[in-house]
Chain A
Amino acid sequence: MIKEPRRHQAELLVIGSGLAGMAASLFALARGVSVAQVGNSGVIAFTTGYLDLLGHDERGFVDDPWQALIRLREDEPRHPLANVTENDIRAAFTSFTQSLTEMGLGYTAPGAHNVLALTPAGTLKPTLSLPLTMQPAIAAMAAGLDTLIVDFTGLNGFSAREVVANLSQRWPGLRAARIGFPDMDSGAEVYAEVLARALEVPATRQLLAERIGPLLGSAQALGLPAILGVHRPDHVHRELQSLLGVPVFEIPTMPPAVPGVRLRELFETRLPQCGVALEPQHRVKRLELHTQGVTAHLEDAYGEVTIEAAAAVLATGRFTSGGLRADPNAIRETLVNLAVSQPEGRAHWYRPDYFDPRGHAINRSGVMVDEQWRPLDATGKPAHPRLFAAGSLLAHQDWIRQRCGAGVAIATAYKAVDAATQAARSG
């Protein structure tokens, strides 16, 4: 069978489609760089939607992440965020949240302080920027508004009663109610993603509002699991607020959750419209590095695809995303076999106590980079002058415990793209 060879060409190849990869493509577009992007979106699908910069350090919750970053530069000089200036971080974060907002997924602008956002367990998560659909919770909680939290029959893993039970000491005006979702109230399992898509139909919003309205009573605000649409959440949110006449906010749910689907679909839709040659949900199988740039080989459903670029940013993520792989006694980087900073042997990967506040050593393993964000090989030298790295793949950070996942992704993507652009255009 004859198949035409399929090739893309771009100045910059972004490998990875998580938060760092997506941010990298956006930053490159903003610089007028042509981009090809490949990658499985991996753990982006598990996000709350909150974009945290630095939510936690050894003193506990971080109120002012900018102050905490100053301390971080002292205490953890190898931390990726310690190697980006405050100005760059601000610029990157602002640019990223603005881009999301312009693309139709509204986010609050990063401020001077973290805010405490809600989780499905009724605990609080410090974060710097959050979706507009979730933002009203902050003010409602601060004002202690009488608030109704509604959950849905069949929506497994989200309990309004749980939210209330865990939050009511801090927020006494909370009340829980359960309803059936319009046309999906047989009692069988329903998925947040399905409810969210159904709410994009105006008639369904109307029916939902009719079911919730009578329950509001004295409530001055309404909390719902994150189901307010997938591709037009701000619109759905506004519409529902105007139908109900009270502020409405979303609470993230446990995976499989809508906020991650929103991000994935937003990027998958918008980036190609902006000119990115995106190969969604595929992985680069082999990356050739040569003097003039890189050649990536991948396979989609139909067969081989080749991408040529003058430089590449590697943002393949950690273990769940496939950027790192743990063999029984060593951690390796999966695409280029870069050097990986790691503990000596598996016995040192984890501490005995799961919740040890110091975190687990394995989470700080990862790829090391030079000051140009070029990943190092086993000899400690940059693996290639045109290869750069960004995101959670990087060593010396613990995004899970430090609540700095988005911060690391966005800030390092910003720097890596900066450096990669220079390299790509250096001829």
Chain B
Amino acid sequence: MSARPTSPGPVFETEVLIIGGGTTGTGVMRDLALRGIHCLLIDQRDLNAGASGGNHGLLHSGGRYAAGDADTAAECRREGDILKAVAPECIDACGGLFVAVEGDDPEFAARFPEHCRSAGIECSAITPAEARELEPCLSEKVYAAYKVPDATIDPFRITLENVNHARQLTQSIFLAHTELERFIVEEGTIRSAICRDTRSGDTLTIRARQVVNAAGAWAMQVARLAGCSGVQLLYSKGTLIISNARIGRRVINRLRPPGDGDILVPGGTVSLLGTTSQTVENLDDIHPSVAEVDRLVAEGCALVPQIAHTRFIRAFSGVRPLLMARGAETDGRKASRGFSLFDHESEGLANFATVAGGKLTTFRLMAEKTGDLVARRLGNSEPCKTATTPLPSGDAIRWTEPGFAARYWAARREPGDLILCECEMVPTSAIDAIVENAPGAELQMSLNAIAVRSRVGKGTCQGAFCSLRVTSHLYDRQVYDSPLGLRNTRDFVAQRFKGVAPVAWGEHLPQLELAEALHCALLGLDQLTDDGLQSPTTGGRVP
């Protein structure tokens, strides 16, 4: 890294600039690092800020696509097996069921095993009674059931591991809150990327020999900044809701053509019910709505009746970036789950590639194909190693798994390691490890950034209490010595609120009411202003 006066701001140099800190971008980063290549990864927000953090963490057996998209189904199966082998710590091989309930098309159900067979997916028929024995939460109206090797994956953990591994291998770098503003293109080659640190407002320049666009839903915009219009995406918003406690042991899929509220996926200590699908035009202000939540609950009840009385603690939305072939489907559910790698050479660029579409389960394959292209362009002949090299874990990157922190704390028996997030039992040592050494750790790390790397704010209280305890700890550690820390807390709880409000009823509404009382009536976070001064101008009075 060296500053050159002709370029705006500090200059970073790297072999490959990767844009987009989701599973794909970080997957490419690790893939290239395993070939000995130095990368610099940027994200306008943070790791998994897009679809990678907005999904149900389902590692598809392929069953869900068996009927409509045999290629994707088969791809899912192969990739799932690879990930189970190289990243077992990120995966819960819980298995899955496909069940049809009264009212679902019997013909569709009857053809399911045949579709699975042709995609090479293990699938065994069980009786409804057997299904209900395996998953007592299932509706009594189940009439057909099949077991498949579905699993779940922690998308945050896999992303952190990717970045961590790349950092270990080639000292590759991740920069959060770094937004691409423009490319400097000379003679069909991107020479540098001019970026802005959205937190400080400062400009920086990144020089790279190759540029990879893995910006997910934003890939179209990034491609356009490079003057490329070949990347066409359909934005499909999907909303999911999270229960307060885990509901079933396995992934429970409704055996019908994909629709709202037909997958219930365990996420360690919780369950996620999804997904809706709604085509959206732009990517701003994506958040879950009450109507979507109601639809999920209504549909979910048919599969698992207790959904009607379940306490949900959060809703969230992601945008699936679906590839749109010319004149193809505009229905998000039916659009391809496949991916494409654009080399942009026909558009006159020699060192730019876009990888788009696809899905979480196939991220490694997407990274492999991208890595092959980029390595070839760099004259690097190392083969892809991601299918066989296990991911190393580490102190700072193991805190996203639901329940891990709690088990760690309980086993360690270190009473001085105070628990800062009681719901998820995240201890001080976890926060310290993250602040010191997690991918993307930086001075004055925000609560949002800590939360991406841990379970802080993800439990029952949704940040109402833990945000305050973690903030106090950050002040104690002198991460903060000004009102900035408190403003970050305010921004964090404001962010959490967007996911809480749509599920606030029943048992969860008191939690939100209490949170607001704490944040506003007790602490006055609603009155914080960004200049660091609280608004009251009245002096203190002596009563």
Verify whether A and B have any Cβ pair under 8 Å. Answer: yes
* A327 and B506 contact, CB distance less than 8 A: yes
* B543 and A130 contact, CB distance less than 8 A: yes
Q: Give Cα A347 to B480, complex, Å.
A: 37
* B486 and A121 contact, CB distance less than 8 A: yes
Q: Which of B476-516 contact A (CB under 8 A)?
A: 476, 478, 480-483, 485-486, 489-490, 493-494, 497-498, 501-502, 504-506, 509-510, 513-514, 516
Query: Is B297 an interface residue, CB under 8 A from the partner?
Result: yes
Q: Give Cα A43 to B521, complex, Å.
A: 12
Query: Is A141 an interface residue, CB under 8 A from the partner?
Result: yes
**Which of A129, A170, A254 has the most B CB atoms < 10 Å from its CB?**
A254
Q: Please, which residues of chain B bring their CB within 8 A of the CB of A158? A: 472
Query: Is A218 an interface residue, CB under 8 A from the partner?
Result: no
What 1/0 flags go to B136-147 for Cβ under 8 Å of A?
Answer: 000000000000
Q: Closest CB of chain A to B398's CB: distance in Å?
A: 23
Q: A169 and B509 in contact (CB under 8 A), knowing A115-B540, A125-B524, A254-B465?
A: no
Q: Closest CB of chain B to A351's CB: distance in Å?
A: 8
* A113 and B289 contact, CB distance less than 8 A: no
Q: A354 and B540 in contact (CB under 8 A), knowing A328-B294, A328-B297?
A: no
Query: Is A154 an interface residue, CB under 8 A from the partner?
Result: yes
Q: Give Cα A225 to B202, complex, Å.
A: 40
Q: Please, which residues of chain A bring their CB within 8 A of the CB of B494? A: 353-355
* B540 and A169 contact, CB distance less than 8 A: no
Q: How many A-B residue pairs have CB under 8 A?
A: 204
Query: Is B533 an interface residue, CB under 8 A from the partner?
Result: yes
Query: Is A207 an interface residue, CB under 8 A from the partner?
Result: no
Q: Please, which residues of chain B bring their CB within 8 A of the CB of A156? A: 418-420, 469, 472
Q: A319 and B513 in contact (CB under 8 A), knowing A142-B541, A157-B468, A401-B520?
A: yes
Q: Closest CB of chain A to B389's CB: distance in Å?
A: 41
* A165 and B501 contact, CB distance less than 8 A: no
Q: Give Cα A30 to B490, complex, Å.
A: 43
Query: Is A111 an interface residue, CB under 8 A from the partner?
Result: yes
* A123 and B472 contact, CB distance less than 8 A: no
Q: Please, which residues of chain B bring their CB within 8 A of the CB of A169? A: 483, 532-533
Q: A401 and B526 in contact (CB under 8 A), knowing A138-B541, A347-B289?
A: yes
Q: A119 and B543 in contact (CB under 8 A), knowing A162-B471, A169-B533?
A: no
Q: Give Cα A361 to B123, complex, Å.
A: 50
Query: Is A187 an interface residue, CB under 8 A from the partner?
Result: yes
Q: Which of B418, B505, B516, B518 contacts A326 (CB 8 A)?
A: B505
* B535 and A162 contact, CB distance less than 8 A: no
* B415 and A189 contact, CB distance less than 8 A: yes
Q: Which of A43, A114, A124, A135 contacts B524 (CB 8 A)?
A: A124
Q: Please, which residues of chain A bring their CB within 8 A of the CB of B516? A: 354, 360, 363, 400
Q: Which of B498, B526, B533, B536 contacts A126 (CB 8 A)?
A: B536
Q: A123 and B527 in contact (CB under 8 A), knowing A46-B514, A60-B536, A138-B541?
A: yes
* B535 and A60 contact, CB distance less than 8 A: yes
Q: Please, which residues of chain B bring their CB within 8 A of the CB of A113? A: 538, 541
Q: Closest CB of chain A to B146's CB: distance in Å?
A: 32
Q: Closest CB of chain B to A387's CB: distance in Å?
A: 24
Q: Which of A111, A123, A129, A328 contacts B528 (CB 8 A)?
A: A123
* B475 and A159 contact, CB distance less than 8 A: yes
Query: Is A166 an interface residue, CB under 8 A from the partner?
Result: yes
* A48 and B538 contact, CB distance less than 8 A: no
Q: Closest CB of chain A to B518's CB: distance in Å?
A: 7
Q: Please, which residues of chain B bring their CB within 8 A of the CB of A129? A: 543
Q: Please, which residues of chain A bring their CB within 8 A of the CB of B536? A: 60-61, 116, 124, 126
Query: Is A349 an interface residue, CB under 8 A from the partner?
Result: yes
Q: Give Cα A295 to B504, complex, Å.
A: 33
Query: Is A366 an interface residue, CB under 8 A from the partner?
Result: no
Q: Give Cα A394 to B333, complex, Å.
A: 46
Q: A121 and B540 in contact (CB under 8 A), knowing A60-B535, A154-B418, A166-B486?
A: no
* B518 and A138 contact, CB distance less than 8 A: no
Q: Which of B401-442 contact A (CB under 8 A)?
A: 415-416, 418-420
Query: Is B290 an interface residue, CB under 8 A from the partner?
Result: yes
Q: Which of A298-354 contact B (CB under 8 A)?
A: 318-320, 325-329, 345-347, 349-350, 352-354
* B486 and A355 contact, CB distance less than 8 A: no
Q: Closest CB of chain A to B68's CB: distance in Å?
A: 33
Q: Please, which residues of chain A bring their CB within 8 A of the CB of B518? A: 46, 254-255
Q: Closest CB of chain B to A162's CB: distance in Å?
A: 4
Query: Is B1 an interface residue, CB under 8 A from the partner?
Result: no
Query: Is A229 an interface residue, CB under 8 A from the partner?
Result: no
In chain B, what residue has the closest Cβ to A162?
Answer: B475
* B543 and A115 contact, CB distance less than 8 A: yes
Query: Is B45 an interface residue, CB under 8 A from the partner?
Result: no
* A43 and B514 contact, CB distance less than 8 A: yes
Q: Give Cα A226 to B518, complex, Å.
A: 16
Q: Please, which residues of chain A bring their CB within 8 A of the CB of B537? A: 61
Q: Which of A17-45 contact B (CB under 8 A)?
A: 43
Q: Give Cα A43 to B485, complex, Å.
A: 27
Query: Is B291 an interface residue, CB under 8 A from the partner?
Result: yes
What 1/0 flags go to A252-264 for Cβ under 8 Å of B?
Answer: 1011000000000
Q: Closest CB of chain A to B128's CB: distance in Å?
A: 29
* A123 and B538 contact, CB distance less than 8 A: no
Name B's A-contacting residues (CB within 8 A).
287, 289-291, 294, 297, 415-416, 418-420, 465, 468-469, 471-473, 475-476, 478, 480-483, 485-486, 489-490, 493-494, 497-498, 501-502, 504-506, 509-510, 513-514, 516-528, 532-543
Can you give 9 contacting A-B residue pairs, CB < 8 Å? A43-B517, A56-B527, A121-B486, A125-B522, A255-B518, A346-B294, A355-B494, A401-B521, A403-B521
Q: Lowest 7 CB-CB distances: which A-B pairs, in order?
A: A187-B416, A354-B497, A188-B415, A162-B475, A159-B472, A61-B536, A320-B510
